[in-house]
Structure 1
Amino acid sequence: MSNVEFSPSLMTMDLDKFKEQITFLNKQVGSYHIDIMDGHYVPNITLSPWFIEEVRKISSLPMSAHLMVKDPSFWVQQLITLKCEWICMHAEVLDGLAFRLIDQIQDAGLKAGVVLNPETPIEVIFPYIERLDKITIMTVDPGFAGQRFIESTLDKITALRELRVEKDYRYVIEMDGSSNRQSFKRIDQAGPDIYIVGRSGLFGLDESIETSWDMMVQDYQEMTGKCLG
């Protein structure tokens, strides 16, 4: 039996079926993944803190904001005000900001995370790794759905899992990007705690969210040989 968590990336959901899909997923998942893009760090502009307010109207589940932005300071306080449970910032833009922003988030009773791009080594976050609640490994380049899975990124997940045991760190490990039938087995072998699932792994499998969920679970179980539970 597997204890991994699947966290849907709401950027890839069918917004025409917003209430229907969230209502169903509320009974299946433990959290939601909210991509916030500023059009500068990545060229797209997607969800915003406003979207979190809309989800809260029909869900009490924790939400994790993934800040794909050039100026995380601008967004962090907005998310703290909304009491977004997880606030995750790209390590690549945290030089000179990391300790202050992590403290700001955690002092508010929320959880702080960092995200690493495929080419960013885990050593970059070693100065503050012991403070982190979550580390997200991008298994695709950030900013676009439907990209090719970068298998070499899984080595970072394995290394972080081993380091967590060795140093007794508290962070959870999350993977983000092209989590689907073709990659489930390789991801499972690396051993993250949380899988972000989007269009290719969940929302794009069928027009019905119920059928899509069942297909995703079947894909995971067939490819890994593990039952979810």
Structure 2
Amino acid sequence: MTTNGSTGFYTMVMRRGLLTCLCFLMSLMANAEPGERSAVINALNAVPVYFVTTASGAAPAVGAQQQADFVPVFLYSQEADIAKAELEREGATQLKVVRSELGILYSGKLSANNNGIRYGLVANPTQLAAARRLAANANFSEVPIFVAKHKQSGEVMTTKQPSGTLTIPLFLEVQRLESALVKLGKQLPDLAGEFRVEAYPLSRIVDDMSSGTLDPQQVQMIPPTD
């Protein structure tokens, strides 16, 4: 995992996060039925997320100024550690890195429990660059999901679970998907080189699960290697 440098990291994320690198939160599931909403949250909860907070659970001050009304949330604990260290260099004290789950973030519980402070997931620069390359879209600005599709049929790759059910693995780190495809090719040589990697905004995946286009119970979220 790389952060493309740590100097001014938290300040940069604060500025950028409010503009282009956030996933939509509650609005994505506003029209989902309670059962569907619960299934989406459960699927997303396979992914840990991290953010910086004060010892009392409040949003940290930025540059020893007023309390922030936006808290960036990271997919890598290392990024949260970097953010914490930078805030401490700027004078903030009694900070800690908190681990939560992606589904909890999307459910809105974090904001509801913290006086309406907004929490937003921020794209890792390395994964965002990979998504822009794969999608051939320089304007791709959301947290990406990486999916393997068969080059000829276009069908999404599935994996068979011990129970016999098929699941769709959705990766938040392109390197982890690429490694999985290499392993698959070694185990099943006939499938070597038969899949391509595509990138989609995480918000689209959540929207598809919320609308029923994608069954959340068939989704296997694969978190980054932290």
Give me the TM-score of the superposition, normalised by structure 1.
Answer: 0.28
Q: Which structure has more helix as a fraction of its residues?
A: 1
Structure with more contact order per residue of length (Cα contacts < 8 Å, sep ≥ 6): 2
Query: Structure 2-normalised TM-score?
Result: 0.28
